[in-house]
Amino acid sequence: MISHVNVLVVDDDSVITDLLGIHLERQGYSVSVAPSAIEGLKAVSEEKFNLIVSDVEMPGMSGIEFLTRVREEQPTIGVIIMTAYPENHPKTMAVRAGADGYIGKPFNLKKFSNTLEQAYWNALTRADDLDFEHEGAL
């Protein structure tokens, strides 16, 4: 388990946000929930998150568009994209948009936790790479 990590769960399905919120809190994470991508962007602008878990299909703004906008503003946040679509098309879009992880619904919580930890370490590596590039430019 990774401690002192702030996670935002973005999904219009309250069953998913409740389930993941409870699971993540039991694992020691600090969890916030947003019922839409637009609310997720607002949360990201107001609070520092280490990880975001977002659904693909949401009214108003897709998870892929949300991911793209988050990446523009805060490139070091780890992002996992979830979808109920079994085909690879959303996965390809998520990877191209910069997702650190991808998980299909339904999923088991062990697989979800593994995906979350991998996304966290990917984000830390990206942050280190960006710091190195910045220091090298001085």
Tell me whether residue 138 is in a domain: no
Domain that holds residue 51: 6-133
Question: Are 51 and 80 in contact, with CB atoms under 8 Å apart?
Answer: yes
Output the domain CATH number for residue 124: 3.40.50.2300
Q: What percent of the chain has pLDDT over 70?
A: 86
Per the domain annotation, does 1 fall within a domain?
no
- Residue 75 pLDDT: 86
Average pLDDT of the chain is 86
Report the SS3 class of residue 11: coil
Matching residue, tokens 């503003």: 73
- State how many domains the chain has: 1
